[in-house]
């Protein structure tokens, strides 16, 4: 789906969701502890150094969608526990139906089933492209209710401020809020929750033991379980299918719709008797049968927050500004919008050394410094124009040229 269409749909469902009373947002009562949240994007972490720096708790991404287990999940868990840190887990939700949401909840709980943990299980639901406010709330509520039912443990909603203001509401506000808000005081922020349990206050934190940047958090007592330990016994989920009705929006293509529902163009064509896959019309109604256990795409979607820059996002996810610009069809790398969803490539190499571009640098100069050809640097970093790199951009450095 094109960038303009994504932004249009995001604004659309923000405006059609029901009006609710919003509140200024103090912290939940109790002691606050310093924390971080990590995933594969941080690579190898020395948790002994992390703990020595004053960090007390860590949220670890365990899983995503219906089948993806973070490749650093087990390692991060074992090392964090060995360092004496309090541990929690979060799951990145990609569901498009209630049934998929419940399937993903069971998959999440099954993934962490043999782990001892101290923090609430967290729902990270920011891939909202193509969903109305009503749909986003129904899917989110189905997921978090199923997480608590399958696990026997408490859960928490992770959200940025715009979604906590304009999208998420109703039954989701009965669960504690872990809010992402960078460079702003929460005393003046108004959302559909009366208080925050966790606050992710930057995505550009620097901590001993972690190469690159990391999310920094403050966690109140509400984020921690009254009864730490393992989840109750749970089996692996069993998939079922469901047929959804989709009304084609201006700018849609069959490819973008298929990606939205993680199915194939061929399946949509066959189910709807479409003669020309290149020709669909706004308001056309399509039937789409989808499975609960749809395969996960390698890529990831990130919701732009106030204060973000493209170079900062690239550094966080160990990619390059050039790749983000190309993948998301961004006309001006210096202009991104709060609430915009950016596709993040999922093939970062965490074993590679990196170099942060400085003012005046050229790709040829960097290549000479590290004995790497310009062609190879451009290829590894997805740079289409070798004469155009940006200060602050983080380049991956492959092995030296032969």
Q: For this structure, is 21 an active site residue?
A: no
Count of CB atoms situated within 10 Å of the CB of 216: 20
CA distance 196 to 32: 11
At residue 375, φ and ψ (nearest 5 deg) are -60, -40
Contact 172, 137 (CB under 8 A): yes
CA distance 102 to 126: 17
CA distance 306 to 303: 10
CA angle centred on 127, ends 97 and 36, rounded to 5°: 125
Contact 137, 170 (CB under 8 A): yes
Indicate which residue of 70, 126, 160, 203 is catalytic: 126
CA distance 297 to 300: 8
CA distance 345 to 253: 21
Contact 6, 126 (CB under 8 A): no
CA distance 38 to 70: 10
Q: For this structure, is 114 an active site residue?
A: no
Indicate which residue of 37, 203, 215, 393 is catalytic: 37
Residue 6 three-state SS: helix
Nearest Cα residue to 288 out of 239, 246, 240 = 246
**Counting beta carbons within 10 angstroms of the beta carbon of residue 370, is it exposed (0 to 12), middle (13 to 18) or buried (19 or more)?**
middle
E-state strands within 99-230:
117-119, 121-124, 155-160, 177-180, 190-191, 198-205, 214-220, 224-229
Residue 268 three-state SS: helix
Catalytic site residues?
Answer: 37, 126
């Amino acid at each position: 789906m094109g960038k303009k269409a994504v932004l249009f749909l995001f604004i659309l469902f923000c405006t059609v969701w029901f009006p609710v009373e919003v509140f200024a947002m103090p912290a939940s009562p109790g002691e606050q502890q310093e924390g971080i949240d990590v995933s594969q994007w941080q690579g190898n972490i020395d948790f002994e150094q992390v703990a020595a720096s004053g960090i007390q708790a860590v949220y670890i991404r365990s899983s995503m969608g219906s089948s993806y287990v973070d490749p650093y999940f087990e390692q991060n868990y074992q090392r964090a526990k060995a360092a004496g840190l309090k541990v929690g887990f979060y799951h990145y939700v990609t569901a498009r139906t209630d049934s998929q949401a419940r399937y993903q909840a069971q998959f999440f709980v099954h993934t962490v089933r043999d782990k001892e943990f101290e923090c609430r299980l967290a729902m990270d639901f920011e891939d909202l492209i193509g969903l109305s406010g009503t749909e986003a709330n129904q899917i989110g509520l189905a997921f978090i209710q199923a997480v608590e039912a399958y696990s026997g443990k408490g859960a928490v909603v992770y959200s940025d401020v715009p979604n906590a203001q304009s999208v998420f509401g109703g039954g989701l506000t009965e669960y504690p809020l872990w809010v992402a808000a960078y460079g702003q005081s929460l005393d003046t922020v108004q959302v559909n929750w009366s208080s925050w349990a966790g606050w992710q206050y930057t995505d550009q934190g620097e901590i001993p033991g972690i190469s690159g940047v990391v999310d920094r958090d403050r966690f109140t007592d509400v984020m921690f379980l009254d009864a730490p330990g393992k989840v109750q016994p749970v089996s692996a989920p069993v998939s079922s299918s469901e047929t959804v009705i989709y009304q084609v929006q201006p700018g849609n293509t069959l490819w973008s719709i298929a990606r939205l529902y993680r199915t194939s163009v061929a399946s949509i064509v066959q189910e709807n008797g479409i003669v020309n896959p290149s020709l669909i019309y706004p308001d056309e109604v399509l039937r789409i049968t989808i499975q609960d256990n749809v395969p996960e795409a390698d890529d990831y979607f990130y919701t732009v927050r106030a204060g973000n820059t493209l170079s900062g996002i690239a550094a966080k996810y160990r990619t390059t500004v050039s790749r983000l610009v190309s993948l998301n069809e961004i006309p001006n790398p210096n202009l991104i919008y709060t609430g915009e969803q950016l596709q993040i490539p999922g093939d970062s190499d965490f074993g590679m050394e990196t170099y942060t571009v400085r003012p005046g640098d050229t790709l040829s100069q960097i290549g000479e410094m590290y004995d790497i050809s310009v062609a190879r640097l451009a290829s590894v970093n997805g740079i289409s124009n070798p004469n155009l790199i940006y200060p602050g951009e983080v380049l991956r450095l492959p092995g030296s040229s032969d």
